[in-house]
Chains A and B, each alone.
Chain A
Amino acid sequence: GNSVTQMEGPVTLSEEAFLTINCTYTATGYPSLFWYVQYPGEGLQLLLKATKADDKGSNKGFEATYRKETTSFHLEKGSVQVSDSAVYFCALSDQSNTGKLIFGQGTTLQVKP
Chain B
Amino acid sequence: NAGVTQTPKFQVLKTGQSMTLQCAQDMNHNSMYWYRQDPGMGLRLIYYSASEGTTDKGEVPNGYNVSRLNKREFSLRLESAAPSQTSVYFCASGRLNTEAFFGQGTRLTVV
- CB atoms of A32 and B105 under 8 A apart: no
Contact of B90 among A43, A46, A51, A98 (CB under 8 A): A43
Contact of B42 among A45, A99, A100, A106 (CB under 8 A): A106
Is B103 engaged at the interface, CB distance under 8 Å to the other chain?
Answer: yes
Most buried by B among A43, A49, A97, A103: A43
Chain A interface: which of B14-22, B43-51, B60-68, B69-77?
B43-51
Residues of chain B within 8 A of A98, CB atoms compared: 31, 48, 50, 56, 96
Residues of chain B within 8 A of A22, CB atoms compared: none
Is A27 engaged at the interface, CB distance under 8 Å to the other chain?
Answer: no
Q: How many residues of A contact B (CB 8 A)?
A: 24
Residues of chain A within 8 A of B92, CB atoms compared: 44, 101
With A43-B105, A100-B33 in contact, do A95 and B99 touch (Cβ < 8 Å)?
no
User: CB within 8 Å of B: which of A14-68?
Assistant: 32, 34, 36, 42-46, 49, 51
Residues of chain B within 8 A of A45, CB atoms compared: 102
Q: With contacts defined as CB atoms under 8 Å apart, how many contacts are there between chain A and chain B in the complex? A: 65
A95 and B98 CA atoms in complex are apart in Å by 10
A51 and B99 CA atoms in complex are apart in Å by 10
Residues of chain B within 8 A of A32, CB atoms compared: 97-98
A44 and B4 CA atoms in complex are apart in Å by 11
- CB atoms of A99 and B43 under 8 A apart: no
Identify the closest chain B residue to A30 (Cβ): B97
With A43-B105, A44-B90 in contact, do A34 and B42 touch (Cβ < 8 Å)?
no
- CB atoms of A93 and B98 under 8 A apart: yes
- CB atoms of B97 and A93 under 8 A apart: yes
Residues of chain A within 8 A of B41, CB atoms compared: 105
A32 and B94 CA atoms in complex are apart in Å by 13
A102 and B95 CA atoms in complex are apart in Å by 15
A12 and B15 CA atoms in complex are apart in Å by 38
Contact of A100 among B31, B90, B101 (CB under 8 A): B31
Residues of chain B within 8 A of A105, CB atoms compared: 40-42
